[in-house]
Amino acid sequence: MDVKATDLEHRSVMDISAAVTVGRVERLVVDPASAQVAGIVLGKADGPETFLPWASIKAVGADAITIESRAALRAPSGPLEERGAAGDLEPIGKRVLTEAGDEIGVLGDLLIDGDSGRVLKLGVGERAIEGSSLLGVGDYAAVISRPA
């Protein structure tokens, strides 16, 4: 099932082995190299294990994201996850630049394949741009590979 990034905001993450909510979606971390959502940064989590790798998600449901166990959570590791957790790389609301250096708008949303975490589309204003054209998401801009 495809999901929008903005619809995932604040969605609860539930550990189904214990039937408890372990946190809520604070933001997504996108890995532009693979056009994938690398994982979810949780707010309101207990302790330093605030990062949920997308691969560890059991299901993205309408009301909750489920995981088999809270062992799926870990501390952010590496530059991408650490910067992502700090909010540097938040894609939503970021300006979108083409590789030619022209700003085409603001990234309003991402359409994500709920199973694989692949970024299918980038919503920029009224436009839907192929997720595969994403070159980078940094502290200043999301960069896409061609003028849309």
Partner 1 sequence: MSVPMGPGDPTPSAPTRLPMTATDASGRTTLRLVRASTLTGMPVVTLGGDRALEVKDVVFDKTVGGITGFTLRKPGLLGGPQKRVLPIAGVLAVGGDAVMISSHDAFAAEDVLADVGDDVLGDRVVTDDGTELGTVVDVVASIQGGDGDIVGFEIEGSAALGDEGQHVYLPLPQAIAISGEAIVVPAAARDHASADFSAFGGAVDAYRKTLEA
CB-wise, 91 or 117, nearer to partner 1?
91
Residues in a beta bridge with 12 = 24, 64
CB-wise, 65 or 80, nearer to partner 1?
80
> In the β-sheet with 36-43, what is the strand arrangement from edge to edge?
51-53, 36-43, 20-31, 12-15, 64-67, 59-60
Residues 67 and 61: beta-carbon distance below 8 Å: no
Instruction: Tell whether residue 78 is a contact of partner 1 (CB under 8 A).
Output: no
Instruction: Tell whether residue 122 is a contact of partner 1 (CB under 8 A).
Output: no
Residues in a beta bridge with 122 = 110, 129
Question: Least distance from C-beta 91 to partner 1, angstroms?
Answer: 9
Residues in a beta bridge with 144 = 98, 134
Instruction: Tell whether residue 100 is a contact of partner 1 (CB under 8 A).
Output: yes
For partner 1, the binding residues in 17-56 under the rule CB under 8 A are: 32
Residues 95 and 142: beta-carbon distance below 8 Å: yes
Structure tokens at 53: 């790798």
Instruction: Tell whether residue 98 is a contact of partner 1 (CB under 8 A).
Output: yes
For partner 1, the binding residues in 125-144 under the rule CB under 8 A are: 135-143
Chain contacts with partner 1 (rule: CB under 8 A): 32, 89, 94, 97-103, 135-143
